[in-house]
Structures are given as C-alpha cells and as structure tokens.
Chain A
Amino acid sequence: MGSVETALDIQGLSFGYGDRPILTDVSVQIPAGKLTVLLGRNGSGKSTLLRLLAGLLPVKHGRITLMGHDMHRLSAAEKARIIGFMPQQHRAVFPFAVEDVVLTGRAGHVRLLPRREDMEKALQALEQVGISHLQGRPFTELSGGEQQMVMIARVLAQEPQIVMLDEPTSHLDFINQARLLTLIRQLVSTPLTVLVVLHDPNSAFLYGDHFIFLKNGRIELLESGESPWDRCVLERIYDTPMHTLPYGDRAIVVPQDPAGR
C-alpha cells in the first residue's frame, strides 16, 4: 500500500456547486519528492482541486489516497501532519510578531498551549526560509514578498510531508517571484513533495519537475511524444496561438498578439 513513488493518488474526483460542475472525473498521481505544478486558465478548477486535496473542501465523489492512507479515514489533525497548505494570500488583522504567526503552524501538534519545542520548530522554519532576522517584526509591516516567506515558514513549522501552495507568487513583483520559486525548489530536496498552482507556465517550466494541466475541470493528458512546453500542448490548454522560444532543454512561451506577429 505505502507506495513511495506516489504521494497522492486521485481517482475519479468530481466536484461542483449545485448544478455547476467545477471538476469532472479527475484521476491523476502526484509523484513523491518532486515539484509538481498545476497549470490551467482561470476557472479551470486548479484552486478547487488543490483545496480538495488539502482537505479544505469536502470530497463527495472520488477517492484520494494520501501517502498510502485513505484520506477519508484521516482526522483533520492527522491530515494536517501530512499536508501543509498555504492559502493564496494571507490577510492579517492583528499585528502579530512573525514568530507568533509561524508558531500557529504547530496547532496540529499542540493541545492547548505550544511548548518550548514548538517554538524551536518555528524558529528552525524561519531559519530554513532564511528570514530569521524578521522573527520579532509585526507581520502587518512586512512587504508582500516577506509575508509570503513567513507563510511558507508557517507551513514548514507544521512539519508536513506534502506542501501545497495556491498561487504563492500572484501578488509578488518580478524579483520576489523568482526568490520564492527558488525557495520552493529548494524545499523539494529536503525531501518534501510540493504541489503548487501557478499562473505562469514559464516559471512552471523553469522550476517544476512534473506538470498537470487542467482545462474546464478535466485533466488534459499529453499524447505520447508530447512535452509540456510544446506549442501545440499550450495552445490546446490556453486556447491561444503561441510562440515558443527554445530555452535549454525546455522552452519559453509567449502568446501571439492579435496582429499575429
């Protein structure tokens, strides 16, 4: 049962609100110890799939096997020890110190009050992300990039085996996007399984190992011989004519402008 190669095995997963289907019969495997990127247009069901996998939405149709365990049978606390989920953007209300924000990641391990080792884990996570210097700063006074780093430290303090991130770069500037993705890339070698939703296929191809395409709530499979960065694949996913420029063994993708240049 406890297959080492597959972190998440999803079989026949469907989800919808009322009559409106969001995901239809999704079956896919997420390899362990790899950085897997979920790609697709807005509304393709990427975030919904991630939230279902993270246990934030109830699974009604389909089966998810999590590191060899049937997810249905796991309690919320047990799930939280396997999966760490980082929501899109954290809106803080109170100016908690960075270390206290990270410490809340330990909630799945804590009964009522965190102990000394929980604080140590939080500080280790800050160090791993490389933001120990922010430890005592109020979260609300940090830049968007720093805030995302803190939230990643919070997920790491949770000590999960799988980390899921929902569009972690969407509110960041050019440089902070690159920094964050580099950090996420490093996590995979620690070893962690990382599943991330990204908008930008170029960052995905630069940093990712494995790619899953979603279109209208269905998995879009590659035909044999196709690579994820092939022009025809991307044109199929994004319904837009593309240019691809070779970049190493992969490619940079640019949508054609309406004039067709």
Chain B
Amino acid sequence: MNKLLLRYTLYILPLPVVFISLVLGPAVSARQLFDWFVEWSLRRPPDEAVNRDLLRAVLWDVRLPRVLLTLLVGGALAAAGNSLQALFRNPLVSPYILGLSAGAAFGAALAVTIPWLPVQLAAFVFALLAVALSYYLARTNKTVSTVSLILSGVIVSGIFTALLTIVQFLTDPFKLQTIVQWTMGNLHNASWDKLQSAALGIAVGVIWLFLFRWRMNVLAMGDDETRAVGLNPEHQRLLVLIPATLAASAAIAVAGVIGLLGLAIPHMVRMMLGPDNRYTLPASFTFGGAFLLIVDTCSRSVAQFEIPVGVFTTLLGGPFFIFLLKKARIGWEA
C-alpha cells in the first residue's frame, strides 16, 4: 500500500513543482502574481499600479514555455534512460553513457551550420547511429557485457565529440557561440517555438515507450528467456531503441547535452518502486521532468547569473554513477 502511495506521489509530483516554478523568479514576485490572481478571480477593478502586461508577458511568454519544455526534456531523458537500461539489461547505461547524447549533439550542431538540414532529424539520425555503434562494438560472441558496453559508449562519445569539435572549428564565430552555449545544456532560451519543435518527437517517443513498457520486463529477462516465450529479442530491442532514441534526441536537440539525468532518475525511481517497468517508466518520466524543473528553477533563482543546467546535472550525476559502480552488485560480473 505504501508503494501505491509513493507511485501516485511520483505521478503527480510535476503539478506542485510546475506551480512553484511558475511563481518563482526575478522581475515578477509571487506576491504580485497572487494579487493578480485574486484580482482576476474576484473580478475586482484592476489596480492601476500593477503592470498586467508585464505579468502576462513574464508568465506566458517566458516562464510557461520554459517550465513545460524543462518538464518534457527531463521526462524524455529519464524515460529513455529507463528503457535503455531495461533493453540492454544494464543498469549503468543512459543516453549520455551510450554516446546517444554526443551523437545527437553532433547532429544538431551540424544542422546549425547546414541551413537545409532539420535539427530534430539530424539529431535523431546521429543519435541512433551512435547507439547502434556502441552496441555492435560491444558485442562479442552474441553477448554484450555490462562493462564493454560502457567502454564502447565512451569511445563512440569521444568520436562524436571530436566530430563536434571539427564542426565548431569550421563554423563562423556567431554560430559557434550558439553551438557552445547549447552543448552545455541550456534551457534559458526556451520559447513556444522551441517547445513546438521538440514536443512531437518527445510525445511520439514517450507514448510509444509507454505502450511497450511491459515488453521491457520481458526483454530484461535476457535473450534466451525472451525467445523462449515467443518474442524475437533483436526485433523487440529495436522496437524500444527507436522510440527511446527519438525522445532523447528530440530533447537534446532543443536543450543541449544534459548529462547523467537519464542514468540517475531511473535508479532513484527503481529504489522507490522496484524494477517493474510498467510503473517505473511513467514514474521516470514524471520524476525526471519534476527533477529537472527543480534543478532549473534553482539554477535561475539561486545565483545572480544562470548556471547552465547541464553542468548542474552532470555535477550531481557523476558522483551518483561512481556510487553505483562501486556498489558491489552492479557492473563487473560479466
């Protein structure tokens, strides 16, 4: 019963976080918003001292798209991480570790310099290429060990980061600044346009993953165990890998590289709910979104300047990864 309560708490967690995030921040205070809300709901005559256009602009044009985008990006990365962990039977993988992020980053940077190339498409294609490379490099004798998958992910990440550097080197200074800002993982230039460009890929990917969430339980049993119950593990892996890559690359194309969120969130969710993907997948989405929103709200309201949110998550996620690796039960055996 306790678990049930926890599950639903995770599902609805984004609601209060969205609310808090909307009212926090410079330029418009929570007090002003509250007064505005009271005024509007009681149909009081407008107070001349309050600039309602500013309020509306800050709330509607600045904060709301950013809040929604953050929610979607965090949710997509965590849901993709959860799915990748189940399908590779490897609790240490994530979009970042498998090279998916680096591939998507390279694709998106390429699209910045080549005008006719759609950013979302380029990010998706190179992200898929990167994961496929990591997987096939790690595969020996039809098995993929936990550690070799991580190592090949490191190599693939390195290759795509190097390619990204070449793109940066060849591009003009104005575009370079865009690319550098964006690779750090940033949500501060969120807009309705950006939200729109990412929403389709994320929505299709996450809904697809949601439908296939129980299949992930079957896949997590292993290849022979999957084949024995009548499913082809190779096909099933693709059916999960494609939507996971779609969701994560769409998020990365719009928000840049937000490191290790996709690793840490599914772990925290599993610690709370157990490993059943029927529950961890939706909870990873909502908790990942809420978590990134909390981090982003802090990063824009704590200091005078904005720390790129990707830097934040990597600083938090790095120690977490080391903790998982050191914990005896994960990793080194085969």
Contact = CB atoms under 8 A, between A and B. Distances in A.
Contact of A94 (B220, B226, B278): B220
Given A93-B91, A113-B278, A100 B227 contact: no
Contact of B215 (A79, A105, A112): A112
A100 B91 contact: no
A87 B228 contact: yes
Interface in A100-147: 100-101, 103-108, 110, 112-114, 138
Pick the most buried of A78, A81, A93, A155: most chain B CB atoms within 10 A of its CB.
A93
B66 interface: no
B306 interface: no
A15 interface: no
B220 A114 contact: no
Contacts of B90: 93
A113 B211 CA distance: 8
Nearest to B230: A80
B334 A86 contact: no
A157 B274 CA distance: 22
B276 A100 contact: yes
B275 A107 contact: no
Contacts of B229: 80, 104-108, 158
B226 A107 contact: yes
Contacts of A114: 214
Given A93-B220, A107-B218, A81 B225 contact: no
Contact of A91 (B86, B212, B274, B334): B334
B217 interface: yes
Nearest to A113: B214
Contacts of A91: 222, 334
A105 B231 CA distance: 11
A95 interface: yes
A94 B211 contact: no
Contacts, number: 85
Contact of B270 (A56, A76, A94, A103): A94
- Where chain A touches its partner, the secondary structure class is mixed
Given A93-B89, A93-B90, A107-B218, A85 B276 contact: no
Contact of B230 (A79, A100, A112): A79
B214 A56 contact: no
Contacts of A101: 221
Given A104-B221, A113-B214, A95 B275 contact: yes
Given A94-B220, A104-B218, A110-B214, A85 B228 contact: yes
A113 B224 CA distance: 21
Pick the most buried of B86, B220, B270, B275: most chain A CB atoms within 10 A of its CB.
B275
A155 to B, nearest CB: 8
A105 B228 CA distance: 9
Task: Report the contact-size class of chain B (Cβ under 8 Å from the partner).
Answer: 20 to 34
Nearest to B214: A113
B149 to A, nearest CB: 12
B127 to A, nearest CB: 24
Given A85-B228, A86-B228, A94 B214 contact: no
B279 to A, nearest CB: 10
Contacts of B276: 96-97, 100
Nearest to A112: B211
A84 interface: yes
A79 B232 CA distance: 12
B227 A56 contact: yes
Interface in A136-193: 138, 154-155, 158
Contacts of A113: 213-214, 278
A84 B221 CA distance: 15
Nearest to A92: B221
A155 B228 CA distance: 9
Contacts of A245: none
A76 B231 contact: yes
B89 A104 contact: no
Nearest to B278: A113
Contacts of A154: 225
A259 B232 CA distance: 52
Interface in B276-332: 276, 278
Given A107-B218, A112-B212, A96 B275 contact: yes
Q: Which 6 pairs between the two chains have the least Cβ-Cβ distance? A: A80-B230, A108-B230, A94-B275, A85-B228, A107-B229, A87-B224
Given A79-B230, A101-B221, A107-B226, 12 more contacts: A54-B228, A56-B227, A87-B224, A93-B90, A93-B220, A94-B89, A94-B91, A94-B220, A96-B220, A100-B275, A100-B276, A113-B278
29 contacts: A54-B228, A55-B227, A56-B224, A76-B230, A77-B231, A78-B230, A81-B230, A85-B224, A87-B222, A87-B225, A87-B228, A91-B222, A92-B221, A93-B220, A94-B89, A94-B270, A95-B274, A96-B217, A96-B275, A96-B276, A97-B276, A103-B217, A107-B230, A110-B214, A112-B211, A112-B212, A113-B214, A113-B278, A114-B214
